[in-house]
Amino acid sequence: MKTNRGERHFLKGALLLTYAGLIGKVLSAFYRIPLQNLTGDVGFYVYQQVYPFIGMTSILALYGMPAAISRLVATREEPLSSAVKKRILIQLILFALTLIIMVYSLAPHIATVMQDVQLTQVIQSSVVLFIPFPILAYYRGLSQGENHMTPTALSQLIEQVVRVSLIILSSYIVSQYAYSIYTVGVGATFASAIGALIAAGVLYRLHQKKSLAFDQPAKDPEFSHRQLVSLILGTGFVMAINHMLLLLLQLVDALTLVPQLERYGMVLAEAQVLKGILDRGQPLSQIGIIVASSLTLSVVPSVTQSRLKNDTETFVQAIRSTWKLTLILSSAASLGLITLFSEVNELLFKEDLETFSLQIFTLSIIFISLSISSAAILQGLGFIYRTALFVLIGVVSKVLFNILFIPYFHITGAALATVLASVVILSLNMVEIKRQIPNERLFNIKVKGWMYSLVQMVAILYVFNRVANEILLPLSRIQLLFYVLFIVSLGAFIYVRGIVSKRVLTNAELNSLPLLHRFAKKE
C-alpha cells in the first residue's frame, strides 16, 4: 500500500513537471512572434544569434544538472551528507565561473565567426545567465531526488513568465525609442537572467520551508571532488545534450549561415534579414514539435515500466503507440502548416516572405518529433549516452549539409540541411532500437488509412484556400486571424474524422489523447 502511494506520488510529480515543461515551451515559442513584429527581421536575427546561449544555459539548469543530482540523491539509501551537498554546490559554482570566463573571453571570436562583430557585446551579456545557474540546478536536483517536483515546476513557470514578459517589454522599448537593434539581444539576456534569479529565490524559499537544504548532520564525504565532477557535470552534460537537439541545430545556423551568405556575394544587411526570415520557422516548428512529441509522453513511461517487469507485449505495444501517435500528429502539423504557410506567414510576421524556404524547414517537424520520441524510447531502455552521441552526429551532419547546400540554395539550403540532419538522427535512433529489439515489428500503422486522411486534409485545405483567396482577398490582419483559425479548425476536423473513420488508432491510443478519447468505441 505504501509502495503504491509512493508510485502515485512520483507519477503525479512527474506529470506536474511535464505540464510545466509544456507550458514553458509554448510560452518560449509564442513570444518570438511579438518580438519579431516589434523589432523586425534584423532584430529577430540578433535575438536568434544569442538565443542558443540562453537556451543551453536554461536546459543545463532545468534538465541536465538537476537530473544528474536527483539521480545521485534517489539512488542512495541514506540522505546525502551536508559535506557532499556543499561539494556539489561548489562544483556548480566553479562550473558557472568557468563558463562565465570562457564565454566572455571567447565572445569576440564567436562574433567574428558569425561575421558580425557587433554581436560581441550581446554574447558577452549572456554571461549574466550563469549567475543564478548554480542555485537553480542545485535546488532543483535535490528536490527532484526527493520526489518533490512542485518546486521545479513552479520555478520553471515563474522563470518563463517573467522572462517572456520582460523580453517583450524590452523589445517594445527598443522599437519605441530607436535604440540600437543589438540592444534587443542584450535586453533578452538580462530578461532571462532576471527570470532565473526570481526562480532561484522561489526555490530557496521553498527549500527553507521544507528543510531540504543542508539539513543532514555532517558526515565524512562519500565522494571526492573528482568523482562528483564525473557524476554531476559529466552526466549532467550528457542528459542536457539529449534536450538540446533543436538548440544545437539553431546554433549551427547562427555560426555558419550569415558567413556563408556573405562569402558568396551577399552584403551583411541582406544576410541578416534572410537569417531573420529563416528564424521565423523556429517558433512555428517548435509548436508543431511540442504538440506531436509531448502528447506521446504519457505512453513513453510504460516503456521503462514494462521493460523492468519483463512484460514484452506491453513493452512493444508502448513503442508502437509512441511512434504511431508521433507520426500521425507531426505529419498533420507539418503538412497542414505547409499548405497554409503563406497566410500564416503574413498573419504572424506581417509579410509573406521566403515562404518556400520556410515550408521546407517545416518538414523538420516530422523528423525531429520522431527523433525526440525514439530517443525517449532508447533512454527508457537505458541508452542515455548513445542518444546524446546520435544528437552530436546529427549536428555534425547539419554543419556539412550547410556547407554543401547554402552556396547554391541560400536559406532554402539551410532549411533543407536541418531536415536532412533530423533524418540522420532519426535513422540512427531507429537502427539502434531495431538492434536492441530485433524480432518485433515495431512500426505498425494502417498506412492506407493514415495516407487517405492526410491527403484528404491537404487537398481540401488547398482547394478551399485557393478559392477563398480569390473571393476574400485582400483581408485585414484581424480578418486574416479569424480566417486562419477557421481553416486550421477545418483541417483538424477533416483529419481527425479520417483517422477515426479508418480506425488508424486503437481505442487505447484514442483514449490517451486529449479531446479524441470521446471517439473511442465503448467495449
**Residue 469: count of CB within 10 angstroms of its CB:** 14
Per-residue pLDDT tens digits of the chain, which is 523 residues long: 444 554 454 555 555 666 676 777 777 778 888 888 898 889 889 999 999 988 888 888 888 888 788 777 766 666 777 777 888 888 889 889 999 999 999 999 999 999 899 999 999 999 999 999 899 888 888 887 777 777 888 888 888 899 999 999 999 998 888 788 899 999 999 999 999 999 999 888 887 766 544 455 545 456 666 777 777 778 888 888 878 888 899 999 999 999 999 888 889 889 999 999 999 888 888 887 777 666 555 555 556 666 666 666 777 777 787 788 888 888 999 999 999 988 888 888 888 888 899 999 999 999 998 998 888 888 777 788 898 999 999 999 999 999 999 999 999 999 999 999 999 999 999 999 888 887 777 777 888 989 999 999 999 999 998 898 888 777 788 888 899 899 999 998 999 888 888 888 777 667 666 666 566 555 4
Sequence-separated (6 or more) residues with CB below 8 Å from residue 390: 375, 425, 428, 429, 432
Rounded Cα gap, residues 319 and 307, in angstroms: 11
Half-sphere exposure of 451 (CA within 13 A, CB side): 4
Block residue for cell numbers 544569442: 50
Q: Which long-range contacts (CB under 8 A, 24 or more apart) does 203-211 make?
A: 203/135, 203/136, 203/139, 203/140, 203/143, 203/151, 203/152, 203/155, 204/135, 204/139, 206/139, 206/143, 206/150, 206/151, 206/154, 206/155, 207/139, 207/142, 207/143, 207/151, 210/143, 210/148
Nearest C-alpha neighbor of 431 from the set 382, 366, 369, 387: 387
Q: Give the CA-trace dihedral at 285, 290, 291, 295, to 10 degrees.
A: 160
Alpha carbon 404 to its chain's center: 26
C-alpha cell at 186: 542584450
How far does the chain reach from its first CA to its final CA, in angstroms? 30
CB atoms within 10 A of CB 375: 27
Name the nearest CA neighbour of 442 among 347, 377, 515.
377
- The gap from C-alpha 415 to its chain's centroid, in whole angstroms, comes to 17
Backbone dihedral angles phi then psi of residue 502, each to the nearest 5 degrees:
-90, 5
Provide CB contacts within 8 A for 76, sequence distance 6+.
Answer: none
Domain ranges of the chain: 1-241
Q: C-alpha distances in angstroms, 424 versus 109, 255, 390, 398, 401?
A: 30, 21, 8, 9, 11
- Enumerate residues 6+ apart whose C-beta is below 8 A from 1: none
| Nearest in space to 76 (alpha carbons), one of 153, 145, 2, 15 | 145
Task: Identify whether the C-beta of residue 55 lies closer than 8 Å to the C-beta of residue 283.
Answer: no
In angstroms, the CA 7 to CA 364 distance is 36
Query: Are 114 and 42 in contact, with CB atoms under 8 Å apart?
Result: no
pLDDT of residue 461: 92
Which DSSP state fits 366? H
Q: What is the spatial distance between Cα 233 and Cα 462, in angstroms, rounded to a whole number?
A: 50
**Residues 354, 409: contact at Cβ < 8 Å?**
no
